[in-house]
Structure 1
Amino acid sequence: MSAALQAKALLIRAVECDQSGRILEAQTLYQDGIAQLMTFVSTEPDEVKRKGFLTRIKEYMDRADAIKARVNGQLMLGEIVTHLSIEENDTGYDYDQIFGKYMTNQTIEIMLEEPYLSQNYQYQNLIRFLELAVTNCTQLKYVRLVTKKDAANPEQQSTNLGQIKADLERRQISFYIKYEDTLHDRKIFLSNGYIIKIGRGLHFYKASNPMYSIGLTNYRYRKCLQTDVDIWRTSRIPN
């Protein structure tokens, strides 16, 4: 498929997602489609055609910027509905107990900002979170993961996340990975209007000790590191 056709396909999907309220996915598709269209336009010899393409690109860029502004605005607003302080060595806190009730079938998109994904246990925590999302969010269509690139082993990180991406896509859930090396904050944004902020992100569990003991697979029996959890509610993002 030519660059122009690839760009067209991406932008058609972006508009479809935009119109159906899947704005996180639409934002990604707009960005990818614009990038491909810009590459094509740079090689277009016809000045009139090039100007026409640039006009359309400007329209798509304006729409993508509007979505970004709206998402950022939602992340900054809202009210706390739940505050939880988890003390050192506390037990009884798995993801489902803490925020599972906010992950509903009205959640069609999720954005997860988790800076640290390099160790096996961190990937396991990510999988546990995604298992909860797949179970509770029966209409889930799109997950955006924002994380840091593993400077020590980027190839392994790419392989691990690629496996997760392929598995989700077999379940008709798009998975988009964005690397931000300056990322520090941890948050989970649900498209039904809830934002989950955990001081330590997904990684607040201690290792099972000894390994083969209660808590190895059921994390409600795991000892925790000290952290705070705030759950915010915003108005649901409009279409």
Structure 2
Amino acid sequence: MNAKEILMKAVVCDRSGRIIQALTHYQDGIKILMDLVNEETDAGRKKVYHSRIKEYLDRAEQIKERISRFGHSGSLLHNISIEDGATGYSYYTLFGKYLSNEVQEVLIEEPYLIERYQFQNLINFLEVIIKNCADLKFVRLVTKTDNKNPENQMITLDNIKADLSLREITLHFTFEDTLHDRKILLSSGYVIKIGRGLHIYKPNNPRYTLGMCDYDFRKCLQTDVDILRIKKVS
């Protein structure tokens, strides 16, 4: 798609309240416009491009700031302290009751998606939200770059993206190497903060034992989970 088509999608998402997806399209469209500015030699056209870029950039920054505030505000609904070695804490058990048809967008900020088990945790989480959020349309994933094997990381994420697209769900992933905090934002108005992010489970040892597939049987690492209620993301 060209910049115009992407930015039109951004505006449509913005007006319909899907601001997580709108932010992604604004950022992608702005990048293309900036590339066009650098290649443009006509002063008049450059001025038009700069005006458009400022308009969309201002709106993108407003949305970005709003999403950022969601992660630091809201009323605490539930705090769960998980002891080392505890079981019975699958993703669904932890926050399944907050998953519903109201969830159209999900933002996942998870710094560490490098090892095989970390991608397995991501897949398990995606299975839970897709199974329980029938109207889910968009997932934005923010993570760090795998500096040792970036190609494998990209291939794995692209495969997941392609698989979700078969279910008419868009996965957009981006890299922020300064990312530290972990959080999950549901567009229905909930923020889930887990001290260890998605990676709260110990490896099965031996591998072929209960907990391999059903995470309620999997032993956990010590961590805390906070679930906050915020205004609906729209």
Residue in structure 1 matched with residue 33 of structure 2 by the alignment: 37
Distance in 2 of aligned mates of 1:49 and 1:182: 36
Task: Give 2:12's aligned residue.
Answer: 16
Matched residues in 2 for 1:163 and 1:73: separation? Answer: 32
**AA at the equivalent of 1:187:** K
Correspondences of 1:1-239 after superposition (within 5 Å):
6-238=2-234
Normalised TM-score (structure 1)? 0.94
Q: What displacement does 1:49 show?
A: 2.4
State the TM-score, normalizing by the size of structure 2: 0.96
Cα deviation digits, residues 76-124 of structure 1 (max 9, x gap): 2101100000101111110000011112111111111111111111110
Please list the CA deviations of residues 171-201 of structure 1 after superposition, one character each: whole Å capped at 9, or x if unmatched.
Answer: 1111111111121111101111100001111
Cα shift readout 1:25-66 (whole Å, capped 9, x = no counterpart): 111111110111121122223322221222122111111111
In structure 1, C-alpha distance between the alignment counterparts of 2:169 and 2:20, rounded to whole Å: 13
| Aligned residue type for 1:210 | P
66-75 or 131-140: which moved more?
Answer: 66-75
Distance (Å, rounded) in 1 between the aligned partners of 2:89 and 2:172: 28
* Alpha-carbon distance in 2 for matches of 1:9, 1:203: 37
Instruction: Give distance in 2, aligned partners of 1:115 and 1:139.
Output: 26
Computed over aligned residues only, the root mean square deviation of the Cα atoms, in angstroms, reads 1.2
> Percent identity between the aligned chains?
53
1:178 maps to amino acid: T
Count the aligned residue pairs: 234
